[in-house]
Amino acid sequence: AQTVTQSQPEMSVQEAETVTLSCTYDTSESDYYLFWYKQPPSRQMILVIRQEAYKQQNATENRFSVNFQKAAKSFSLKISDSQLGDAAMYFCAYRTRGTYKYIFGTGTRLKVLA
């Protein structure tokens, strides 16, 4: 069975600094997707970034980028130039290609300090 692990329950970062959130996963599948979702307080989860396992190039979306290490089964999220609006719960998620089910990690709560 697939699992997703986020080992950092909480992280803090100073405004304008860079922070990296960790995620590891376990699967025997070779074709899958990985996602980072952001959930601001009392709001819905919003997709931040997505990575297809067959793509070697790390995905980037503006200030958000990932470090995808397929062999190590690691998928970390880097947030550059952190802003107050980045404060949220961040969930790492996995989905095997061809299925509908997301498998989530427990989340990392990010605090951004002014």
Partner 1 sequence: EPEVTQTPSHQVTQMGQEVILRCVPISNHLYFYWYRQILGQKVEFLVSFYNNEISEKSEIFDDQFSVERPDGSNFTLKIRSTKLEDSAMYFCASSEAGTIYEQYFGPGTRLTVT
Applying CB under 8 A, the residues found at the interface with partner 1 are 4, 35, 37, 42-47, 50, 91, 95, 97-106
Q: Which is nearer to partner 1, 16 or 46 (CB)?
A: 46
Q: How far is the CB of 47 from partner 1 (least distance, A)?
A: 5
Q: How far is the CB of 35 from partner 1 (least distance, A)?
A: 7
Q: Which is nearer to partner 1, 103 or 110 (CB)?
A: 103
Separation in Å, CA 106 to CA 13, 29, 58, 62, 103: 20, 21, 23, 25, 10
Residue 12 φ then ψ, to 5° = -125, 150
DSSP 8-state symbol, 85 = G
Cα distance between residue 76 and residue 69, in whole Å:
9
Q: Which is nearer to partner 1, 50 or 70 (CB)?
A: 50
Residue 85 φ then ψ, to 5° = -70, -5
Q: How far is the CB of 43 from partner 1 (least distance, A)?
A: 6
Q: How far is the CB of 17 from partner 1 (least distance, A)?
A: 28
